[in-house]
């Protein structure tokens, strides 16, 4: 026979997860006079927390006169899972001083998860020291929470030491360490550990795949997912699906994304809200905004992320009216917008020139919703003002806002000065920015571009010199396209040998046809002091053109061409895409580093509200072979232009003799599937290595 208190605890436990049931049970226990009778307070705190009623749990804790280790343990666990893990610190202080209780193994493991959430290695180490000196120092559950804590704080090696000290290791601690290596970018070790793990379950697969996606190894993550399916691992929950759908969004892998949509349907997870949200984002990032919308409309329960994902998607696709109409629906539906929603909304206004609406939203975010604007909001708003020609107002906002402007903020203002041909303001801001000696490499690219547009080649040289001195490198431009089951990656200036003939013939035909329609190359985005014909050649081989040409040659007639590019599209490519869509009667969608461009019948969805100098434009990558490199040294050719990531590829155009040979050699070498690295300063070539792509 159970005691009345134990009966009450069992009843309380049974209510967990249902707010009404917990409250009812609390009332009943109060009536029976058992409210302060241990272990009821601890059980109620747990039940409240499991019903997502942390304030009620905290209130109950405050009301409880005699607090034992159980109620502390329950509350600390609740807080460690909540949105505010930092609340654990005062509770812990109270436990140690006011109630003079010693933390037991339950408390230590909960506190370890709090420090993991807070990413505080310093506090975590203190806790670890305390644990070692405590009577519980052999407890494996505490050890597994310490492994996780070290991994989340960026020290998987420390986690490994604790892991190795364990006598018996269960799947929880294996998973924690696999996840730790993977999410700290140590994929080799993660895989090795995973392969040696006994009894790999869905949790471990999910942890590994998630870690890889979070460190940018989406391709590897997808491969593992395929292996997992082949191994026949049962998918009992939606975690892994939403992660892999997210990976296909990152990769803009449309075919894969659609297959995953099918898998989600077959496995019965289509009604899962998180899977639905991931699908909306995937379709949007794969350039198919209409399918994104279809998934959105089919979702039964929508949270703020569902609404925001859709708003942001519409905004990035240049569909400002749809984004704003969604916002109205969202408010009517009673969903509360957050700071991300407003980023999307102001962005939408900015790219449609809706100054009044944007101003109103910026104010309502602060006044109606009490959201303090972040730098990102100021940048979006400033972008809106400056794009629409309110340059002085934008400059004033920049000086009065409570943040230091970053590269994106300067970029927004400088692009607008360029657009409105306010050279004086442009140079004034640039000179000021150069004086500040920015740390971010992209700021130097921005400055260089601005000076180049204004023909100030001496300042361009000065910026380039700064960059070389600081070993700042520019990211190389590339584009990719999905062709059947494979991806095809194109670098600027490099035409793969197997399709070279077809692509070159196609592009030359296009140029002839475009010229008939009045096309004149706009070389303003080639940021080097080159001859005009040389600049045109740079443009001709920009990576998105190669990718689009490849797509048009290889895809079935009438299908949509979807290309992804890592940098921004340049002015001339933008014009060319419009013309190609008109000439070939095909839809072309280009996702660049900031937004989507839908080209159809000679027009683009962005309505020309897109220009931005900040991300840097594409440059031709010069890759050279051994013979050319020694020629370069012998003839003392000098290199100019931006340099690419250290130790990988040095891109530049050449001056002096032999440019043509160099171009031939580089194209040849690239076509063989290799890459070459030239390392050295701008004025001297030091060494060369080469490798396979």
Partner DNA sequence: TTAGGGTTAG
Task: Give the whole-angstrom CA distance, residue 377 versus residue 397.
Answer: 12
Cβ(263)–Cβ(241) below 8 Å: yes
**Residue 159 in the binding site for DNA (CB under 7 A):** no
Mark residues 352-381: x for contact with DNA by CB under 7 A, - for none: ----------------------x-x-----
Q: Assign residue 558 a region (left: φ > 0; alpha: ψ between -120 and 50; beta: otherwise).
A: left
Is 141 a binding residue for DNA by CB under 7 A? The answer is yes
Q: Look at the chain and count its residues.
A: 693
Q: What's the half-sphere exposure (Cβ side, CA atoms, 13 Å) at 208?
A: 28
- In angstroms, what is the minimal distance from the CB of 79 to DNA? 10
Minimal distance, residue 366 CB to DNA, in Å: 15
Task: Determine whether 258 is exposed, middle or buried from the number of CB atoms within 10 Å of its CB (0-12, 13-18, 19+).
Answer: middle
Residues 597 and 576 sit within 8 Å (Cβ to Cβ): no
| CB closer to DNA out of 159 and 551 | 159
Q: Which two tokens stand for residue 507?
A: 């592009």
- Binding to DNA, residues 222-281 (CB under 7 A): 236-240, 242-243, 246, 249, 272-275, 277-278, 281
Q: Which listed residue (139, 322, 592, 625) binds DNA by CB under 7 A?
A: 139
| 42 is a site residue for DNA (CB under 7 A) | yes
| Under 8 Å between Cβ of 547 and 481 | yes
For residue 289, give both structure tokens: 């905004």
Pick from 21, 52, 94, 104 the residue near DNA by CB under 7 A.
104
Is residue 43 part of the contact set for DNA (CB under 7 A)? Answer: yes
Helix (H) or strand (E) holding 653: strand 653-655
Cβ-based nearer residue to DNA, 238 or 682:
238
Q: Which stretch binds DNA (CB under 7 A): 198-206, 358-366, 455-463, 490-498?
A: 198-206
- Which residues inside 531-590 make contact with DNA, applying CB under 7 A? none
Q: Does 299 bind DNA (CB under 7 A)?
A: no
Asked if residue 202 binds DNA (CB under 7 A), the reply is yes
Pattern 309-328, binding to DNA, x per CB under 7 A? x--x----------------
Shortest gap between Cβ of 199 and DNA (angstroms)? 9
* DSSP letter, residue 680: S
> Does residue number 204 form part of the binding site for DNA (CB under 7 A)?
yes
In whole angstroms, the minimum distance from the beta carbon of 630 to DNA comes to: 47
By the 10 Å C-beta count (0-12 exposed, 13-18 middle, 19+ buried), 648 is classed as middle
Q: Which of 163, 203, 540, 596 binds DNA (CB under 7 A)?
A: 203
Q: Which residues pair with 688 in a beta bridge?
A: 678
Minimum distance from residue 416 beta carbon to DNA (Å): 19
Stretch that binds DNA, among 40-48, 473-481, 534-542, 568-576 (CB under 7 A): 40-48
Tell me the closest approach of the beta carbon of residue 681 to DNA, in angstroms. Answer: 37
The least distance separating DNA from the CB of residue 149, rounded to whole angstroms, comes to 9
* Residues 130/108, Cβ–Cβ less than 8 Å: yes
Q: CA–CA separation, 658 vs 641, rounded Å?
A: 17
Binding residue for DNA, selected from 218, 306, 443, 525, defined by CB under 7 A: 306
Of 149 and 481, the one with the shorter C-beta distance to DNA is 149
> Contact between 46 and DNA (CB under 7 A)?
yes
Give the DSSP H/E element, type plus range, for residue 482: strand 478-483
Count of residues that bind DNA according to CB under 7 A? 82
Is 54 a binding residue for DNA by CB under 7 A? The answer is no
What b-and-e string marks burial along 439-467, b requiring 16 or more CB atoms within 10 Å of the CB? eebbbbbbbbbbbbbbebeebbeebbebb
Nearer to DNA, 191 or 483 (CB): 191
The nearest distance, CB 480 to DNA, in angstroms, is 18
What DSSP letter does each residue of 520-586 carry, written as one string? Answer: ---GGG--S---HHHHHHHHHT-HHHHHHHHHHHHSPTTPPEEEEESSPPPHHHHHHHHHHHHHHT-
> Which listed residue (18, 137, 201, 584) binds DNA by CB under 7 A?
201
Taking CB under 7 A as the criterion, the residue among 51, 214, 291, 666 binding DNA is 214
Answer yes or no: are the C-beta atoms of 135 and 102 closer than 8 Å.
no
Give the Cα-Cα-Cα angle 412, 417, 422 (nearest 5 degrees): 170
Report the distance separating Cα 365 and Cα 327, nearest Å: 12
Smaller CB separation from DNA, 9 or 417: 9
Instruction: Name which of 152 and 488 has its Cβ closer to DNA.
Output: 152
Pairing assessment for the beta strands 588-591 and 561-565 based on DSSP bridges: parallel
Residue written as tokens 């053109």?
545
Q: Tell me which residues in 401-440 interact with DNA (CB under 7 A).
A: none
State the CB neighbour count (10 A cutoff) for residue 664: 12
Among 138-146, 156-164, 477-485, 625-633, the segment contacting DNA (CB under 7 A): 138-146
Residue whose CB is less far from DNA, 60 or 644: 60
Q: Kindly state the smallest distance separating residue 8's Cβ from DNA, in Å.
A: 9
Query: Using the rule CB under 7 A, is 39 a contact of DNA?
Result: yes
Residues 165-194 that bind DNA (CB under 7 A): 170-173, 175-176, 179
Contact between 624 and 662 under an 8 Å Cβ cutoff? The reply is: yes
Q: Is 221 in the site for DNA (CB under 7 A)?
A: no
Q: Does 64 bind DNA (CB under 7 A)?
A: no
Q: Does residue 109 interact with DNA by CB under 7 A? A: yes
């Amino acid at each position: 026979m159970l005691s009345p208190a134990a009966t009450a605890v069992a009843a309380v436990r049974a209510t967990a997860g249902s707010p009404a049931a917990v409250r009812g049970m609390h009332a009943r226990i109060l009536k029976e006079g058992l409210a302060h009778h241990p272990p009821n307070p601890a059980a109620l705190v747990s039940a409240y927390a499991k019903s997502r009623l942390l304030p009620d749990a905290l209130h109950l804790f405050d009301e409880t006169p005699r607090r034992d280790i159980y109620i502390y343990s329950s509350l600390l666990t609740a807080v460690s899972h909540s949105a505010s893990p930092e609340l654990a610190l005062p509770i812990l202080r109270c436990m140690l001083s006011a109630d003079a209780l010693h933390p037991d193994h339950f408390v230590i493991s909960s506190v370890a998860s709090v420090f993991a959430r807070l990413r505080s290695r310093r506090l975590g180490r203190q806790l670890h020291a305390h644990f070692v000196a405590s009577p519980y120092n052999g407890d494996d559950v505490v050890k597994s929470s310490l492994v996780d804590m070290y991994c989340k704080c960026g020290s998987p090696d420390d986690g490994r030491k604790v892991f190795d000290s364990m006598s018996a290791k269960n799947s929880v601690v294996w998973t924690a360490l696999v996840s730790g290596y993977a999410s700290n970018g140590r994929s080799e070790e993660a895989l090795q550990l995973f392969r040696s793990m006994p009894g790999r379950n869905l949790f471990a697969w999910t942890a590994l795949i998630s870690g890889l996606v979070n460190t940018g190894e989406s391709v590897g993550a997808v491969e593992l997912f395929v292996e997992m399916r082949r191994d026949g691992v049962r998918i009992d929950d939606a975690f892994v699906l939403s992660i892999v759908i997210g990976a296909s969004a990152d990769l803009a892998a449309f075919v894969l994304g659609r297959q995953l949509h099918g898998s989600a349907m077959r496995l019965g997870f289509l009604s899962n809200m998180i899977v639905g949200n991931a699908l909306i984002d995937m379709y949007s990032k794969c350039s198919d905004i209409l399918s994104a919308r279809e998934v959105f409309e089919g979702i039964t329960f929508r949270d703020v992320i569902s609404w925001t994902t859709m708003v942001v998607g519409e905004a990035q696709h240049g569909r400002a009216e749809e984004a704003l109409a969604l916002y109205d629906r969202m408010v009517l539906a009673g969903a509360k917008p957050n700071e991300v929603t407003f980023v999307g909304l102001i962005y939408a206004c900015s790219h449609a020139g809706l100054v009044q609406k944007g101003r109103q939203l910026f104010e309502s975010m602060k006044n109606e919703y009490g959201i303090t604007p972040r730098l990102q909001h100021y940048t979006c708003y400033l972008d809106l003002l400056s794009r629409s020609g309110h340059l002085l107002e934008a400059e004033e906002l920049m000086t009065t806002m409570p943040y230091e402007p970053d590269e994106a903020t300067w970029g927004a203002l400088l692009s607008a000065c360029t657009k409105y041909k306010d050279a004086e303001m442009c140079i004034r801001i640039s000179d000021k920015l150069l004086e500040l000696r920015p740390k971010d490499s992209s700021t130097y690219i921005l400055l260089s571009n601005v000076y180049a547009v204004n023909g100030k080649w001496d300042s361009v040289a000065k910026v380039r010199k700064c960059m070389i001195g600081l070993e700042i490198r520019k990211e190389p431009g590339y584009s990719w396209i999905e062709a059947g089951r494979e991806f095809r990656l194109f670098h600027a200036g490099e035409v793969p040998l197997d399709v070279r003939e077809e692509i070159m013939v196609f592009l030359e035909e296009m140029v002839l046809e475009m010229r008939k329609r009045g096309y004149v190359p706009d070389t303003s985005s080639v940021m080097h002091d080159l001859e005009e014909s040389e600049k045109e050649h740079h443009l001709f081989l920009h990576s998105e053109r190669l990718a689009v040409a490849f797509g048009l040659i290889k895809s079935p007639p009438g299908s949509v061409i979807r290309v992804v590019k890592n940098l921004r599209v340049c002015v001339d490519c933008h014009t060319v895409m419009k013309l190609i869509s008109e000439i070939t009667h095909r839809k072309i969608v280009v996702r660049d580093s900031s937004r989507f461009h839908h080209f159809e019948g000679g027009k683009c969805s962005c309505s020309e509200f897109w220009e931005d100098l900040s991300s840097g434009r594409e440059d031709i990558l010069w890759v050279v072979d051994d013979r050319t490199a020694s020629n370069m040294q012998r003839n003392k050719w000098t290199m100019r232009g931006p340099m690419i990531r250290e130790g990988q590829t040095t891109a530049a155009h050449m001056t002096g003799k032999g440019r043509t040979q160099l171009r031939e050699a580089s194209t040849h070498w690239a076509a063989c599937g290799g890459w070459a690295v030239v390392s050295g300063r701008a004025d001297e070539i030091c060494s060369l290595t080469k490798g396979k792509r």
